Amino acid sequence: MEQNHCTTKTGKWKQLTERDRYKIEAYFQAGLKPQEIAAYIGCSKRTIERERRLGMTAQLKPATKNIKTCGDLQVQWVYLADAAQRRHEENAARKGRGLKIDKDHALARHIEHKIKTEKWSPAAVIGELCQRGWSYDVRICVKTLYNYIDQQLFLELTNDDLLYKKNRDKQTENSRRGVAWNNRDGKSIDERPEPVNRREEFGHWEIDLVVGRKGTKPVILTLVERQTRKSLYVLIKNKSQKEVLQALRRLQRRVKGDFTHVFKSITANKGSEFLDGEGMKRAAKCGEVYYAHPYSSWERGSNENGNRMLRRFLPKGTDFSKLKPKELQRIEDWVNDYPRKIFGYKSANDMYAAMI
């Protein structure tokens, strides 16, 4: 095995050659760690870890004691230089120009942290970097970032970490919410004024309930202000009209400013929990409650989008009886501090503060 002195200086950036890959295979067989191999090859540890993922191949080898998954053989994953070289050439043929992200590992780590840990979208990451002044050597656009994630070029990041790519299943008939057809006195969304429809006026909210694990009673009441996208979350005992009204009254202690200025109208679906429109108007001290058409979630688009953001932290099947108020408040703060493309990557809190 050819040995290089472990103090070999790492270049700013280099492309691994086929010869390098055979050295890496030999080093892995000798039991060296990625950090040690990186020192011998003259590259970063991250490059070796990415290379190992590129060349990992399943092989059948004699089974060790007490492990016989395939008779006298067992499957082992090993790094093979020829497999890594073949995949590298296939990727190179697809990608065209050289990858920018390989030249700035600090940017790659920042992107991985924001998306995987802080649950930001790729667009939010790029938008926030642009707004505050790009501080990294390499600059990429949103489309390029999505392409890099599709091509699995990040060590710690895949499409499974992107909310809207992993949850594409359409709503089934069985998952539809019940509709209170006897709500004949409620004012239809068709009567809502055009300035409200066009989001030209502050103080108009959309309301909904997010349910927890099947068989449990606690639910989360969610409200989103249409113009600023400010979100409010309240954990309630069950999805009854009484709990909804009590939650609206409790909000008066949380909302700064004149409550009648903050709450001018509410738009709800026709679920039975929102049937008491007059009671909701009194509880929220608002002028009107409008009802969307059945099975028309797009008529409350801000609320639906806000619920999807909430689900990043509380996926379907979560038992809300174990949810602490402080945790729900932390999620609400995250949603309201999230940079929004529609506002030039300002947050809902930024927009809301300008209106109070």
SS3 of 328-347: HHHHHHHHHHCCEHHHCCEC
Largest CA distance in the chain: 84
- Note whether 39 and 130 are same-domain residues: no
- Note whether 271 and 140 are same-domain residues: no
Characterize the bridge pairing of strands 204-211 and 56-62: unpaired
| Structural domain range at position 126 | 101-166
- Note whether 129 and 249 are same-domain residues: no
- CA pair distance 141, 22, nearest whole angstrom: 35
Model pTM score? 0.63
pLDDT of 8: 45
Contact 212, 319 (CB under 8 A): yes
pLDDT of 183: 53
Residue 5 lies in a domain: no
* Total tally of structural domains belonging to the chain: 3
Q: Which of 67, 95, 123 is the last residue of a domain?
A: 95
pLDDT of 274: 93
50 contact partners, CB below 8 Å, separation of at least 6 = 153, 155
- Note whether 265 and 310 are same-domain residues: yes
Residue 31 lies in a domain: yes
The stretch 301-307 carries a mean pLDDT of: 91
pLDDT digits (tens, 9 = 90+) for 230-257: 999 999 999 999 999 999 999 887 886 6
Contact 142, 88 (CB under 8 A): no
- Note whether 191 and 145 are same-domain residues: no
The stretch 299-319 carries a mean pLDDT of: 91
pLDDT-based confidence at 57, cuts 50/70/90?
A: confident
Q: One-letter amino acid identity for 171?
A: Q
pLDDT digits (tens, 9 = 90+) for 176-185: 444 444 555 5
- CA pair distance 51, 24, nearest whole angstrom: 9
Q: Which is nearest to 346 in space by CA: 229, 241, 189, 174?
A: 229
- CA pair distance 232, 259, nearest whole angstrom: 14
Give buried/exposed letters for 39-73 (b at 16+ CB in 10 A, else e): bbbebbbbbbbbbbebbeeeeeeebeeeeeeeeee
pLDDT of 222: 96
pLDDT-based confidence at 164, cuts 50/70/90?
A: low
